[in-house]
Homo-oligomer: A and B are copies of this chain.
Amino acid sequence: MALVSFFIDLSVTKLQHAQCWLYRHLEGHRLLQFLSWTVYPVSLCTLSTAFSHSLCPCSAGSGLPEVRTILSGVELPDYLSLSHLFAKLVGLICTLAAGSSVFLGKVGPFVHLATMTGAYLDRMCISIQGKEEITAHRDMLVAAAAVGVASCFGAPISGVLFSVEVMGTHFVVRDYGRCFFSAACGALAFRILSVFSREQETVQALFKTTFSSDLPYHTPEILVFALLGLLCGAVSCLYLFCHRWILQFAKTNKVISRILATEKTLYTGVIVFLLASVTYPHCAGRLMASELSMKQLLTSLLDSRQWWSLSQNASGLPPPKLSPESLWQEWGPSGASVYLTLGFFLVMKLWMLVLACTLPLPAGYFMPVFIYGAGIGRLMGEALAYMFPNGFHSEGKISPINPGGYALAGAAAFSGAVTHTLSPALLALELTGQSTHAAPVLLATLIANALARSRHCPSFYDAVAVAKRLPHLSSLLRARPGLRAVRLGQVLSGGGEVLERRGGVAEARLALRASSQSAFPVVDTRESQLLLGSVDRRELQRFLHSATDGQTGPVLSTQVSDKQLGDVCLIQPMTVQASAHTTVQQAHQIMSVLSAQYLFVTEKGRLSGFMTWKEMKKVIEDLANGRIE
C-alpha cells in the first residue's frame, strides 16, 4: 500500500504540474487562462466519474462507510472486488489531480483500496492453502484499514487508533498487535520511498513544522485552545447539518435525483465547472488563495510566523513565488488583509465543500475538512496575535503567539468533530511531527467532539451510510435510537431449511438444493422442533455421497436410502442460542464477537428461527426502510 500511495502521489503531482505549466504559459490571455483553469479539472473529474461508473457503479464516494459496514460483519462482495479496486484507483488519481479548486482528498478511498487489497491477499492465501473457509478474513481487513491511514500519511499510530474507532462496538485486542505491525511497515515504507525519491533527506513527518520548542505556548493559552475547540464543534454542527440537508435534497428533488441517476457525467461537469469558476484566481479566487495546491494550503496554514506582522514588514525583494517561505503571500494579495482572505475562504469553502460531497466520483472528504479546520484555527490564531502583538508575558520572557499551533489544533478539532473520532488529534501530531502541542490539540479535539456528539447527531459517515442505505447497524441506531429495542422475534422470518434427525438422503438433497447456507439446524422431529445441533454443509454432502456410493446409474430422488442423518453425520452441538427476546443489537454483537456465521433462536428448546449474516443484512435493510417498526 505504501507503493500504491507513493504512485498515486507521484501521478497527481505530475498531472498538477502540467496544469500549472499550461496556466503560467497563458499569462496575459485572460480568457484562455480561464478556460485552462476550468476545463482541466472538469475533464479530469468527468473522466473520473465516467471511468469509475462504467467499471463499477458503486465505486463513487469515500468508501469509508462501506468499510465500516464490512468490518461490522456484513458481507458486501461488490465492495471488495478487483474491478472496484481498479475503478477506485484510477478515479481517485483523476479526482486528486483536479486540484484544490474541487477540494477533495485521498484518505477515505485509500483506506477502501487498502481493504480491497487486504481482502484480495486473503483470498489468495486461502486459495493457496486450499481451504474453503470464508470467515477468517476479518482480522486482515482491520489491519488493512490501519495500513490505509498509515501509508497514506506515514502515520502508524493514528492508523491503529483509526482502526479501533472504525470497528463500531468491540475491538478485538488480538488484532491490535497485527494492526500495529502492518501499519508500522506501511508507514515506514512510505517514508523510505520518499527518501529514495530525493523528496526528503531522511525519514521524517510529511508536513514537518518548525514550531519553537522552548516555549511553544503559554499556559493561559490553553483556555484559548479550549475556546477554539468549542468554535470548531459549533461549525462542525453547521457543516454536518448542511451535508445531511444536501444528501436529503439530492434524493428527494426529482430533477436532481433523475440527473444523478442517468447523467452522472454531465452533473459532475457542471458542478466542477461552477467550483472552478468561483476559484478562478483573477476573480474571487484571488481572495481564497486558490493557486495553492492542497498540500501547499496545509503547509501555509501551519506556518509558525504571524502573517499579520509579516504583511506589515513586507519590504525589499519578495522571495520567489510559491516557495515555502512565501506561500503566505497568497493569503494576503495586494491590498487585501489576511483576515479578509481567511474569512472569505472559510465562508466560500463551506458551501463548496458541501456541494463537492454530492459529486458521484471516488473522493475523500477528510483532508478538505482537515484543511478547513486549519483555516478556522489560523483565523483565531491571527486574531489573537493582533490582540496581543507581543504575546503573553511570563516571568519577563516574551515569546510571540504562534498562529500555526492554533491551525494545527483547529484542523484536528474540526475533522475530529465532523467524523466523531479522536484519531485526528494524533494524526495532526504525527503529520507535523509536532509533539509540543500534544496537550492543546487533544483538548481542542475532545471539546469539539463533545459538542458535536452532544445532540446525538449522526456523524459524517453515519449520514452517508444512512443516505446510501448501507446495512450498518451502528449508524442506523445512532440515527434512529428507537430501533435499539427491536427484538429478534419481531424480525425473524422463520424461513431457512431445517433437517430432521431421522431424515434420509432425499431430505438432505432437497435442503442442499434449496439453500446455500453453510450449516443446517437439526431438530429431533418436525413436530417437536426440539433443536439438537447443526450439521455442516460439507458433512451433509459427504452423507449424500456415502449414501449413493456403490450404486450405479443415476439415483432417483424418490429412492430412499436406509441411512439416517443422525447416524452418519456429526451433529455439532450448539455453543450459544438466542431467544426471540434478544434484541437485534445483542444478536449482532454476539455474532461478531464470536465470529459466528449463524445464531440459532430457540424458545423452550424449540427452534424458532435462525440468523445468518445474510439474514442480518436483510433485517438491517428492512429496519432502515421502515418495514419493521
The chain A residues found within 8 Å of chain B, CB to CB, are: 156-157, 160-161, 164-165, 167-174, 176-177, 180-181, 184, 187-188, 191-192, 195, 201-205, 210, 213, 215-219, 222, 394-395, 397, 422, 426, 429-430, 433-436, 438-440, 442-443, 446, 449-450, 453, 524, 530-532, 573-583, 586, 589-590, 593-594, 602, 604-606
With both chains docked as a complex, state the minimum distance between the C-beta of A6 and any C-beta of chain B, in angstroms.
Answer: 15
Q: Is the CB of B590 within 8 A of A191?
A: no
Q: Is the CB of B157 within 8 A of A167?
A: no
Instruction: Given A165-B173, A201-B394, A576-B578, verify A532-B604 contact (CB < 8 Å).
Output: yes
Instruction: Given A435-B430, A435-B433, verify A171-B168 contact (CB < 8 Å).
Output: no
Q: Is the CB of B169 within 8 A of A172?
A: yes
CA distance in complex: A530, B604 (Å) = 6
Q: Is the CB of B442 within 8 A of A156?
A: yes
Q: Which residue in chain B gives the minimum CB-CB distance to A420? A: B177
Q: Which of A160, A202, A590 has the most CB of B within 10 A?
A: A202
Further pairs besides A171-B171, A602-B605: 12, Cβ < 8 Å: A164-B173, A169-B172, A188-B443, A202-B216, A203-B217, A210-B213, A430-B438, A433-B438, A576-B578, A589-B593, A604-B605, A605-B605
Q: Which of B201, B203, B446, B574 contacts A181 (CB 8 A)?
A: B446
Q: Is the CB of A219 within 8 A of B192?
A: yes
Chain B residues whose CB sits within 8 angstroms of the CB of A171 once the complex forms = 164, 170-171, 173
Instruction: Given A180-B446, A435-B434, A449-B177, verify A582-B589 contact (CB < 8 Å).
Output: no
Q: Which of B176, B436, B577 contacts A433 (CB 8 A)?
A: B436
CA distance in complex: A180, B422 (Å) = 8
Chain B residues whose CB sits within 8 angstroms of the CB of A394 once the complex forms = 201-202
Chain B residues whose CB sits within 8 angstroms of the CB of A192 once the complex forms = 219, 222
Q: Which residue in chain B gives the minimum CB-CB distance to A204? A: B436
Q: Which residue in chain B gives the minimum CB-CB distance to A184? A: B442
CA distance in complex: A602, B605 (Å) = 8
Q: Which of A167, A180, A435 has the most CB of B within 10 A?
A: A435
Q: Which residue in chain B gives the minimum CB-CB distance to A574? A: B579
Chain B residues whose CB sits within 8 angstroms of the CB of A532 once the complex forms = 604
Q: Which of B180, B202, B215, B602 contacts A202 (CB 8 A)?
A: B215
* 10 pairs of residues in contact across A and B, judged by CB atoms under 8 Å: A160-B161, A177-B449, A180-B422, A181-B450, A204-B216, A429-B435, A433-B435, A575-B578, A590-B590, A602-B605
Q: Is the CB of B586 within 8 A of A594?
A: yes
CA distance in complex: A172, B574 (Å) = 26
CA distance in complex: A202, B405 (Å) = 15
Chain B residues whose CB sits within 8 angstroms of the CB of A530 once the complex forms = 604-605
Q: Is the CB of A577 within 8 A of B602?
A: yes
Chain B residues whose CB sits within 8 angstroms of the CB of A172 once the complex forms = 169-170
Instruction: Given A204-B436, A219-B202, A575-B578, verify A173-B167 contact (CB < 8 Å).
Output: yes
CA distance in complex: A448, B609 (Å) = 49
Chain B residues whose CB sits within 8 angstroms of the CB of A580 once the complex forms = 573
CA distance in complex: A355, B581 (Å) = 56
Chain B residues whose CB sits within 8 angstroms of the CB of A436 once the complex forms = 204, 433
CA distance in complex: A590, B595 (Å) = 12
CA distance in complex: A209, B233 (Å) = 34
CA distance in complex: A174, B180 (Å) = 21
Chain B residues whose CB sits within 8 angstroms of the CB of A582 once the complex forms = 574-576
With both chains docked as a complex, state the minimum distance between the C-beta of A13 and any C-beta of chain B, in angstroms.
Answer: 22
Q: Is the CB of B176 within 8 A of A164?
A: yes
Instruction: Given A576-B578, A590-B593, verify A157-B426 contact (CB < 8 Å).
Output: yes
With both chains docked as a complex, state the minimum distance between the C-beta of A167 and any C-beta of chain B, in angstroms.
Answer: 6
